[in-house]
Amino acid sequence: MLEKLFNWPTPKNTKRLLIFGVILMIIVYPFMAYFFFASHYPVFFFESQLSFSGETIKSHLKTMNSEEINLYRIGQSFDYAYMVSYASLYFSLTLIISRKFNENSKMRNSCLLVAIFGPIAACCDAMENVFILLMLSDPQGFPNVWAITHSWFALVKFILIGILFTWIIIALIALLVRKKPKPE
């Protein structure tokens, strides 16, 4: 299946997808950030997303009034568009970089695998948000397992994005080293 990514999407469509991802991110992120900021969620998102504790999330939500919870819900809704933006961006950028390597090289083959991490991370993020929205429907009475499940999806998302960023940096360095003229 990954071999299909050698040529699909076409280089022209891959660039379009990259541009789409960047433009969508630029449009959506300020709105999402505004609603998250306006909601006065009491902790940084890493602490919330990786809490693995229903009681911790309930204590966060307890500090918020119903209007703030609604603003937070709107921010989570904008996050779905943000997921599309970063999935498109990471997928297309990784493909563009991968196609600069020789066709059967280990770098090219590894990046075809890493390219799908962007969309998979976005899917994990989407599932994480489903549980956030469920928790927001009953901020003090939701089952604690929802928070634990939410955190597991967040953890997988962060691991995949971390691998993606690391791979992109390594691949770019490898391309720079490869293009550096050899001393005579």
How does pLDDT run across 108-161, given as a tens digit for each residue? 888 888 999 999 999 999 999 999 999 999 999 999 999 999 999 999 999 999
Picking from 37, 48, 40, 44, the residue whose alpha carbon sits closest to that of residue 155 is: 48
Q: What is the pLDDT of residues 54-75, one digit of tens each?
A: 999 999 999 999 999 999 999 9
Domain assignment present for 98: yes
Number of domains in the chain: 1
pLDDT at 179: 73
Domain assignment present for 184: no
Confidence of residue 180 (pLDDT cuts 50, 70, 90): low
What are the Cα distances from residue 55, in Å, to 41, 42, 66, 155? Answer: 15, 14, 18, 18
Mean pLDDT score, 98-112: 84
pLDDT at 146: 98
Domain assignment present for 6: no
Domain assignment present for 100: yes
Picking from 100, 103, 112, the residue whose alpha carbon sits closest to that of residue 167 is: 112
The C-alpha atoms of residue 92 and residue 168 are separated, in whole angstroms, by 12
Domain assignment present for 34: yes
Q: Who wins on pLDDT, 36 or 113?
A: 36
DSSP single-letter state for residue 143: -
- Under 8 Å between Cβ of 86 and 122: yes
Picking from 91, 122, 115, the residue whose alpha carbon sits closest to that of residue 19 is: 91
Domain assignment present for 3: no
Domain assignment present for 102: yes
The C-alpha atoms of residue 60 and residue 58 are separated, in whole angstroms, by 5
The C-alpha atoms of residue 72 and residue 175 are separated, in whole angstroms, by 42
pLDDT at residue 173 tops 70: yes
Domain assignment present for 5: no
Q: Read off φ and ψ for residue 53, nearest 5 degrees.
A: -145, 120
pLDDT at 107: 84
Q: Find the domain containing 155 and state its range.
A: 11-179
